[in-house]
Amino acid sequence: MESLIIQNQNQNNNVRSTREELILSVLPLLKLISLTLVGLILAHPKTHLVPSATFKLLSKLVFALFLPCMIFIHLGETITLDNFVRWWFIPVNVLLSTAIGCLLGFVVAKICRTPPEYVRFTIIMTAFGNTGNLPLAIVGSICHNSENPFGPNCHTTGTAYVSFGQCVAVLLVYTLVYHMMEPPMEYYDVVEDGTEITEQVPTNDLSRPLLVEAEWPGMEDRETEHCKTPLIARVFATASNVSIPDPDSLEEGGAPDHNNPSSPKSIRCLAEPRMVRRIRIVAEKTPILHILQPPMFATLLAFFVGMVPPIKSMVYGDDAPLSFITDSLEILAGAMVPSVMLVLGGMLAEGPNESRLGMRTTIGVIVARLLVLPLFGLGVVCLADKFGFLIQGDQMYRFVLLLQYTTPSAILLGAVARLRGYAVSEASALLFWQHIFAVFSLALYVIIYFKILFAYV
């Protein structure tokens, strides 16, 4: 009789723990969905309670003020020289998730018979997920509950881990993503007199969709000379029916002076192999310095302050002389999560644009990004844990690693598409549908992650 009573108690405890896990995993997402719905209602064309310009201004505040404050407060407090070394797998995981996503995107393009001009677009939309604002919002929502399973330092450590990985993601945007999103040669005409003809996109700030300003405001204002040209295709083209400029003509200052053998360019060309010169030209035209924006400055400042103990003791802590400054920044950082979700709702209110990507490819990218890639992520994180690459006993560390495989494609890709003048409407439509279906996929995988992470705790 006593054994039956004990068995029933165990069953009740299991049911209660399962119910609690569901509540703890789903409730944070419901909070974020509620905030997104508020933004959608405010920005919807039928209500139009708040104009689109207001959401763009809010997005700029997030980018220039709220997000840098959050990064500096939480990353600077947590980072130390020892932690900088211990967290090495976070940026490696960003690279792994992008590499696996590229392979999945290539498979999607082959299976779904993607139009040739959108193959690279399909690969990068599958590969590059949102590693910044959305994971920060998810972590912030989970940690908002005092009974969260990650402990009292949930928000600080979670934000620090996400911010640490975001540095690598931004570097990828202005290197891999920037060049993968260049316009294909088939849709870029070079006429005999050298005038380059491309599809013109309106540059008026008021006419831009919120998608362009939602995550990295002002990116399109930083256009470079070759940002809307197929630079790599032109530099590396070896045989074509189209007249392709010589790589030297793409360098600053025009073509080299062949009549003057003592000119610097002539000497450099003699000493430099042609392939090396082409790679150098592409590297010189890559706008890598554009990563120096407020969030990156906040990250670098947090690294400097956090890893120098005498300075850190003056800035962080209740007894620090400058604690009033960090308290003020923390108040501003609190506006980051609701603002991000309101802007996301405003973006979704604009609806999807027409897309020539095709229904099969659209569905293929959504399935690969939201359902298949997280399974690979589980395998990578479990293997890394088995080989001792991860911090022992830190479940938030593992959760952030898993989130890097689970989020939809980065909204930033829409801004890059507009910057390069390539697949702008396709990016808008794909991002819209991904974020709609991500509501269900995120809920599913967060439940699975909680079940795995806390199964033996």
Instruction: Yes or no: say if 209 and 428 are a contact pair by the CB < 8 Å rule.
Output: yes
The DSSP bridge partners found for residue 196 are: 190
Greater model confidence, 315 or 419:
315
> Widest CA span of the chain, in angstroms?
104
Please state the φ and ψ torsions of residue 129, each to the nearest 5 degrees: -95, 175
Q: Please, which pLDDT band fits residue 422 given cuts at 50, 70 and 90?
A: confident
Greater model confidence, 225 or 88:
88
Cα 63-449-32 angle, rounded to 5 deg: 40
Q: Which two tokens stand for residue 384?
A: 């890394």
According to CATH, the topology of domain 22-189+292-453 is Na+/H+ antiporter like fold (1.20.1530)
Label residue 193 exposed, middle or buried (CB < 10 Å: 0-12, 13-18, 19+).
exposed
Q: Please, which pLDDT band fits residue 17 given cuts at 50, 70 and 90?
A: low
pLDDT in tens, 394-414: 999 999 999 999 999 988 888
Give the whole-angstrom CA distance, residue 373 versus residue 203: 35
Q: How many CB atoms lie within 10 A of CB 344?
A: 25
Residues in the chain, overall count: 457
Instruction: Yes or no: say if 373 and 405 are a contact pair by the CB < 8 Å rule.
Output: yes
Give the whole-angstrom CA distance, residue 390 versus residue 402: 12
pLDDT in tens, 47-62: 888 888 888 888 889 8
Q: Please, which pLDDT band fits residue 236 given cuts at 50, 70 and 90?
A: low
Instruction: Yes or no: say if 185 and 242 are a contact pair by the CB < 8 Å rule.
Output: yes
Residue 190 three-state SS: strand
Kind and range of the H or E run holding 425: helix 424-453
Kind and range of the H or E run holding 405: helix 395-406
Q: Please, which pLDDT band fits residue 8 given cuts at 50, 70 and 90?
A: very low
The DSSP bridge partners found for residue 189 are: 197
DSSP state of 88: T
Label residue 78 exposed, middle or buried (CB < 10 Å: 0-12, 13-18, 19+).
buried
Residue 77 three-state SS: helix
pLDDT of residue 6: 43
Give the whole-angstrom CA distance, residue 452 versus residue 440: 19
Q: Please, which pLDDT band fits residue 367 given cuts at 50, 70 and 90?
A: very high
pLDDT in tens, 290-323: 677 888 899 999 999 999 999 999 999 888 898 8
Radius of gyration of the chain (CA): 24
Residue 259 three-state SS: coil
Domain ranges for the chain, please list them: 22-189+292-453
Give the whole-angstrom CA distance, residue 132 versus residue 154: 17
